[in-house]
């Protein structure tokens, strides 16, 4: 679960990480009122879950109410890489002497947490990693032993920050590590972490991904989830307990198992099509689950054909086929369906589907043939 910057900053603040005072605004007048309250100069910041807002014009400094008004007008409704801005975060502007980068995430292959710290912050960290990898100081942390102050100090020294930043950085990194572990996050990133002319450090941006598997012990997260989901399809899918990720193509994809769902998207691409989504319905393929999946895909206007790719394991082919047929009776679909059914009792399943075949319900024996048929249908529509 990704947080917006302002939510990330609220999360950081709970762990004692310094952030600028500010508030959200969903309308121009509110933005001016917030700015008047916190005092000038302020920064008007687009709240979208995508990086590079600064470059896109979604972050503007303002010295007066009129400037806030003008910036709020231009940023609200702005499209930043496909994300429409519906909310602003207004905060007291900071003076910047240096911009650093700091993050914690999990390094699965090392079976350790990974901390990254760089004196080259403010810019895209992927770019730094590519052009000047030595500028990023890395530390692997044993999750049981944790991160000691001593280790943190050595790590900060390696990163080559300004001397005045040392103590502040050690303090913030220890708090950030606590936020990451105790706060049940998969990623915490501060870019930029700034040094002010007064020699103080604080978080000017916040990127936080919470670990959804830990939501059961965080009742306070319900509030975050309810706030805003940009993609209506994803909201509906989430409500129905489906693993769904919205994409931009025209071929709706339903598969059982995350690996198969990914392969299905790949095959659709391979034969010249574009998946409209990733949707994993999990192990079983009951009529209930199938109907839910079809309903979600049906809300997507861009979908011109649906590709159902099921490999029966424990669930038998005939049960899958019956599930699909029942689901089709429940949902009035706008697009034709191509089904590839394989695995346990595939023959029996295909026989059931054969009895229902039509122009809008096509069964193909292999994944590749099914993908071709679905892509052709999507293009022809
Ligand atoms: P991003 O572009 O989406 O990563 O958004 P950031 O919140 O990181 O802001 C981008 C850049 O805007 C920062 O790297 C700063 O250079 C600049 N910026 C943001 N807030 C302030 C501020 O309070 N004062 C000044 N002078 N610049 C700021
Ligand atoms: Mn940033």
Q: What is the pLDDT of residues 52-84, one digit of tens each?
A: 999 999 999 999 999 999 999 999 999 998 889
Ligand 1 pocket check for 312: Cβ under 6 Å: no
pLDDT-based confidence at 230, cuts 50/70/90? low
Active site residue 6: no
The Å distance, Cα 54 to ligand 1 centre, comes to 6
Which residue is catalytic, options 100, 101, 177, 244? 101
Give the pLDDT confidence of 277-296 residue by residue, as tens digits: 999 988 766 788 888 999 99
Distances (CA, A) of 364 to 266, 287, 299, 353: 18, 20, 25, 10
Rounded CA-CA distance 20/61 in Å is 14
Proximal ligand: closest to the CA of 99: 1
What the chain holds in terms of domains, given with CATH numbers, is: 21-92 (3.30.1490.20), 98-223 (3.30.470.20), 232-380 (3.40.50.261)
pLDDT of residue 341: 95
pLDDT digits (tens, 9 = 90+) for 186-213: 999 999 999 999 999 999 999 999 998 8
Minimum-distance ligand 1 atom for the alpha carbon of 43: 23
Evaluated on CA atoms 328, 331, 336, 341, the torsion sign reads negative
Q: Return the ligand number nearest the Cα of 9.
A: 1
Q: For the whole model, what pTM was predicted?
A: 0.71
- Range of weakest confidence among 258-267, 289-298, 303-312, 314-323: 314-323
Pocket test for ligand 1, best of 205, 206, 207, 208 (most atoms within 8 A of CB): 205
Tell me whether residue 101 is one of the annotated catalytic residues: yes
Rounded Cα distance, 60 and 106, in Å: 33
- What is the Å distance from ligand 1's center to 4 Cα? 15
């Amino acid at each position: 679960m990704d947080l917006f910057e302002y939510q990330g900053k609220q999360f950081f603040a709970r762990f004692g990480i310094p952030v600028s005072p500010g508030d959200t605004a969903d309308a121009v007048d509110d933005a001016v009122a917030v700015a008047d309250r916190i005092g000038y100069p302020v920064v008007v910041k687009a709240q979208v879950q995508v990086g590079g807002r600064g470059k896109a014009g979604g972050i503007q400094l303002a010295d007066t109410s009129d400037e806030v008004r003008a910036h709020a007008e231009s940023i609200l409704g702005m499209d930043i890489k496909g994300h429409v801005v519906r909310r602003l975060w207004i905060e007291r502007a900071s003076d910047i002497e240096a911009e650093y980068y700091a993050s914690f995430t999990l390094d699965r292959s090392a079976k350790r947490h990974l901390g990254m710290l760089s004196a080259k912050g403010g810019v895209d960290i992927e770019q730094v990693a590519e052009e000047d990898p030595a500028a990023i100081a890395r530390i692997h942390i044993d999750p049981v032993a944790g991160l000691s102050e001593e280790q943190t100090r050595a790590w900060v020294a390696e990163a080559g920050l300004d001397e005045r930043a040392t103590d502040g950085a050690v303090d913030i990194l220890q708090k950030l590590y606590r936020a990451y572990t105790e706060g049940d996050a998969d990623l915490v990133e501060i870019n930029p972490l700034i040094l002010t002319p007064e020699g103080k450090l604080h978080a000017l941006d916040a990127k936080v991904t919470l670990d959804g598997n830990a939501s059961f012990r965080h009742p306070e997260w319900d509030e975050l989830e309810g706030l805003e989901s940009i993609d209506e399809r994803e909201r509906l899918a989430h409500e129905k307990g489906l693993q769904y990720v919205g994409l931009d193509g025209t071929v709706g994809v339903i598969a059982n198992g995350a690996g198969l769902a990914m392969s299905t998207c790949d095959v659709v691409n391979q034969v010249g099509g574009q998946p409209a989504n990733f949707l994993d319905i999990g192990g079983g393929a009951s009529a209930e689950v199938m109907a839910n999946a079809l309903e979600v895909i049906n809300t997507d206007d861009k979908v011109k054909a649906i590709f159902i790719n099921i490999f029966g394991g424990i669930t038998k082919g005939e049960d899958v086929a019956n599930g699909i047929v029942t689901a089709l009776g429940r949902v009035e679909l706008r697009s034709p369906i191509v089904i590839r059914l394989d695995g346990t009792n595939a023959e029996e399943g295909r026989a059931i589907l054969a009895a229902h075949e039509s122009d809008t319900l096509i069964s193909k024996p292999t994944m590749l043939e099914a993908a071709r048929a679905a892509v052709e249908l999507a293009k022809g529509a």
